[in-house]
A = this chain, B = another copy of it.
Amino acid sequence: MRRQIPDVVVSRLPMYLRVLALLKAEGIDFISSRGLGSRLKMTPAQIRKDLCYFGKFGRQGRGYNVGRLFSELKQILGLDKQWSMALVGVGRLGRAIMDYKGFIPEGFKLVAAFEKDRNLIGKKIGGVVIEDFAVLGKSVKEKNVDIAIVAVPSSEAQNVIDMLAQSGIKAILNYAPICARVPRGVRLQGIDPVVALQSMTFYLTRV
């Protein structure tokens, strides 16, 4: 039986994965919790505490096996399969998201896009035909969409998120700068540049 893993630990795992991918690329086979900590700007104790949720990876004196830890964390995060995504809102931001080259190599594939604007419906971008927002519920089910990306104006975002949740979508990535609500059992992540800016200003005030 798995222990309950705190959200804050889960939220750090993608960063672990990123550092491990770099280590692999550098040909490093083993790394200590100190070495990982220095790359992740975390204490070795925190690293050990985080990773102990997932079983015994490290070996006294030798450190973590980079390749094995990478594969196991990938599996734990569910990244050993491909995930299907739907985009809602094909304005400037939506188009930029459709152009984004970072999804496919990581196993995320855009399979559907929805828009209200009649001039865009039916157009094909990067292999995806833009569909009428009105068919969203039916289409995400037919296409077995796992994750939805919301790129509509703030004023419409909560409505869209409600519709996605009603359509059975369990994970939503929200680009609108609102504090959105989701029903129990639905995961919501916001892409918020302000949060990223706010932790840099801390250091700017100390230069």
| Chain A residues close to B by CB (< 8 Å) | 6-8, 10-11, 13-15, 17-18, 22, 41-43, 46, 76-79, 83, 85, 91-93, 95-97, 99-103, 106, 108, 146-147, 149, 154, 170-171, 173, 177, 179, 185, 187, 189-205, 207
Closest 5 CB pairs of A and B: A102-B177, A78-B205, A93-B96, A78-B201, A14-B198
Q: Are B191 and A79 in contact (CB under 8 A)?
A: no
Residues of B within 8 A of A185 (CB): 207
Residues of B within 8 A of A205 (CB): 77-78
In the assembled complex, the CB of A95 is this many whole angstroms from the nearest CB of chain B, namely 5
Other-chain contact of A83, B99, B100, B197 (Cβ < 8 Å): B197
Cα–Cα distance between A66 and B41 once the two chains are bound (Å): 29
Q: Are B179 and A147 in contact (CB under 8 A)?
A: no
In the assembled complex, the CB of A96 is this many whole angstroms from the nearest CB of chain B, namely 4
Cα–Cα distance between A92 and B199 once the two chains are bound (Å): 26
Q: Are B103 and A194 in contact (CB under 8 A)?
A: yes
Known contacts A191-B193, A198-B106; decide if A8 and B41 are in contact (CB<8 Å): yes
Sample of 18 A–B contacts (CB below 8 Å): A8-B46, A10-B203, A14-B198, A15-B195, A18-B195, A77-B202, A78-B201, A83-B204, A85-B197, A92-B96, A93-B96, A97-B193, A100-B177, A106-B197, A146-B201, A147-B204, A185-B207, A191-B196
Residues of B within 8 A of A196 (CB): 173, 189-191
